[in-house]
Amino acid sequence: MTNSSVLTLACVGFNLPDGRALLTGLSYTFDARTTGLVGRNGIGKSVLARLLAGQLVPGTGTIRAPVVHYLPQQLDPAHYRDVAELAGIAPVLSALQRIEAGSCDEADFALVGDRWDIRSRLAARLNDAGLGHLHADTPAASLSGGECTRVALIGALLSDADFLILDEPSNHLDARQRRLLHAELARWPRGLLVISHDRDLLRQMACIVELSEAGLTRYGGNYDFYTAAKAQEQDAAVARLEHARTAQRRGEADLQLQAQKQAQRVARGNRSARDSNQAKILLGMQQQRCEQSSGRLQQQGLARRDALAGDVAAARGQVQPAAELLLMPPDAGLTSQKQLLALDALRLPFGDATPIDLHLSGPRRLALVGANGCGKSTLLKVLAGQLAPAGGDCRVHLPPVYLDQHAGILCPDSSVLAQLQRHNPALGEGEARTRLALLGLDTARALQPAGLLSGGERLKAALACVLYAERPAQLLLLDEPTNHLDLAGIAALERMLRQYRGALLVVSHDEDFLGALSLDGRVVFAAGGGVTLTAGDGVPV
């Protein structure tokens, strides 16, 4: 491990444009071990990545970094001329062309370095990734979102950087492409920091670092080690809270007993004074001493109560709030005999042209799986009525509700509460607020414009609108719903969907997510065309 594979932060702070502090006093050293960075949405993971890459300047503190290659989460093909520029190798190719044309400029030779075979390496990588139809001069605007991500990943792996920082690199990748990514990252010889909610990818990391309000905390193992350690931390925090509460109860009992004894002493003193023949001045002095003693004991009691309450508050602050969300799913009224949809010789407008024959009945819960570009998302849009089929017959016997990863059914300028009441005018404001609160959307979020909510909050709000509508959704179509959720948001969505009682068709490449949904089968898009319906155990039905 060399210093060139080390990123060091010393008391780093960063403020948002409105002056609010996002990161405060971060001190940490990222070494050459493969590291996964996790944390809730909005905590500042992507901002931290840009700080480490030198794209942002910290407001306080210092960062020592070697040559870093940063791959952002969002890539807009319109910002790049061609594949070479998207991959970050355009300057090297230009220098190579100038040398081949006779240039003796030392700067060109320095730029090329040892990468004389960069053209063939790019072509080989593109071919291995299933992108052999692309070339260095292919216009970036012609690429799909998934192709754009894959080309940028190839560029990162071809770089001579001392440190790679990848922000959600597995988004838009299918199962095969994710396996290739895992293999490539396992071979990467230098520093690597991966920001991700992909639990399978995080299992490949040597350690996990969590960014929270408390700063950066390292867990010396992969994702499974991290979740086990977090559970142990939570158990220990709950035990400390119970211990503090027990100490508070005992302390309160001691203080009450002490107060009773003091009251008894005062009462005895008063009776003794009444029965004695002492001078009034002596009796006054005794009463003054008694009052002073009572005052001291009262002050000590208040201080002890404050200390015990402070211990309880501190212990409570270490306990993560319960993440259980409650969906109140209406009865979908779907019997096993109720026909759901019928596809006969259906041909999709995009993707594979092989006719699809599929008949489904009852409250089925199915995943649509297959390689990118095979037509999964297109089929959902056809079922939702957003696209017309190229041929064949498509009959959907229930009103479908289509939700993409951006929760596009929500109006960004209107509050969630107002939109829920528009979907169900009979739902009173109090009941609507209660239902949103049970989903983790408190009053402040319920009254915010939907466009200001996080991705996970928008999905919850969209689900509330369709499931609590005057006519609740009986057929839910979800397209890659976890792409922009953090780990807590994914867990919440999993819990909500397990409670949903209607029919569900979901497109996702996240096997952990699909495994948590209690699915009863899969619609598998075959590599050679067509689809196969399998049971939960993968056996064709």
SS in 3 state form for 281-305? HHHHHHHHHHHHHHHHHHHHHHHHH
As a whole-number percent, the residues of the chain with pLDDT over 90 amount to 44
Predicted confidence (pLDDT) at residue 14 exceeds the cutoff of 80: yes
At residue 155, the pLDDT reads 93
At residue 69, the pLDDT reads 93
What is the helix (H) or strand (E) element at residue 358, kind and residue range? strand 356-361
Predicted confidence (pLDDT) at residue 278 exceeds the cutoff of 80: no
73 vs 403: CA distance, rounded Å: 21
392 vs 396: CA distance, rounded Å: 13
Residue type, 445: R
31 vs 209: CA distance, rounded Å: 12
At residue 528, the pLDDT reads 73
Q: Which is more confidently placed, 145 or 133?
A: 133
- Answer yes or no: are the C-beta atoms of 341 and 504 closer than 8 Å: no
- Answer yes or no: are the C-beta atoms of 459 and 476 closer than 8 Å: no
How would residue 1 be classed by pLDDT, with cut points 50, 70 and 90? very low
Predicted confidence (pLDDT) at residue 194 exceeds the cutoff of 90: yes
pLDDT tens readout for residues 19-37: 889 999 999 999 989 999 9
At residue 200, the pLDDT reads 95
403 vs 384: CA distance, rounded Å: 10
- Answer yes or no: are the C-beta atoms of 199 and 38 closer than 8 Å: no
At residue 87, the pLDDT reads 93
Mean pLDDT of 65-82: 88
- Answer yes or no: are the C-beta atoms of 199 and 207 closer than 8 Å: no
Q: Which is more confidently placed, 182 or 276?
A: 182
Range list of β-strands (E), 207-353: 207-212, 215-219, 339-347
- Answer yes or no: are the C-beta atoms of 321 and 329 closer than 8 Å: no
Predicted confidence (pLDDT) at residue 314 exceeds the cutoff of 60: yes
Residue whose C-alpha is closest to residue 9's, from 70, 53, 73: 53
How would residue 272 be classed by pLDDT, with cut points 50, 70 and 90? low
Residue whose C-alpha is closest to residue 191's, from 85, 75, 70: 70
At residue 444, the pLDDT reads 86
Whether 7-229 shares its CATH topology with 323-399+471-540 is answered yes
Average pLDDT value for the chain: 86
How would residue 203 be classed by pLDDT, with cut points 50, 70 and 90? very high
Residue whose C-alpha is closest to residue 496's, from 449, 462, 523: 462
How would residue 279 be classed by pLDDT, with cut points 50, 70 and 90? low
- Answer yes or no: are the C-beta atoms of 460 and 441 closer than 8 Å: yes
In three-state form (DSSP H/G/I as H, E/B as E, the rest C), the secondary structure along 405-465 is CCCCCCCCCCEHHHHHHHHCCCCCHHHHHHHHHHCCCCHHHHHCEHHHCCHHHHHHHHHHH
Beta bridge partners of 21: 15
pLDDT tens readout for residues 391-417: 999 999 988 888 887 778 899 999 999
At residue 2, the pLDDT reads 46
| Strand, helix or coil for residue 14 | strand
pLDDT tens readout for residues 498-511: 888 889 999 999 99
Q: Which is more confidently placed, 329 or 344?
A: 344
Q: Which is more confidently placed, 539 or 37?
A: 37
Rounded to the nearest 5 degrees, what angle is found at the Cα of 178, between the Cα atoms of 173 and 180? 120
Residues 7-229: name the CATH superfamily.
P-loop containing nucleotide triphosphate hydrolases (3.40.50.300)
237 vs 314: CA distance, rounded Å: 10
Task: Tell me which residue has tokens 């970050």.
Answer: 88
Mean pLDDT of 268-279: 62
Query: Which residue ranges make up each domain of the chain?
Result: 7-229, 231-318, 323-399+471-540, 407-470
300 vs 311: CA distance, rounded Å: 16
- Answer yes or no: are the C-beta atoms of 96 and 116 closer than 8 Å: yes
> Which of 7-21, 90-104, 189-203, 519-533 bottoms out in mean pLDDT, i.e. has the lowest?
519-533
Predicted confidence (pLDDT) at residue 207 exceeds the cutoff of 80: yes
The DSSP call for residue 79 is G
Q: Which is more confidently placed, 272 or 139?
A: 139
Predicted confidence (pLDDT) at residue 282 exceeds the cutoff of 70: no
pLDDT tens readout for residues 467-491: 888 877 888 899 988 887 888 878 8
The DSSP call for residue 540 is B
Mean pLDDT of 276-291: 61
Considering the domain delimited by 323-399+471-540, tell me its CATH architecture.
3-Layer(aba) Sandwich (3.40)
pLDDT tens readout for residues 236-249: 988 998 999 998 89
Residue type, 283: L
Residue whose C-alpha is closest to residue 401's, from 284, 526, 502: 502
pLDDT tens readout for residues 101-124: 998 999 999 988 888 999 999 999
pTM score, whole prediction: 0.79
153 vs 166: CA distance, rounded Å: 8
For the chain, how long is the longest CA-to-CA vector? 122
- Answer yes or no: are the C-beta atoms of 53 and 164 closer than 8 Å: no
At residue 326, the pLDDT reads 66
Q: Which is more confidently placed, 1 or 441?
A: 441
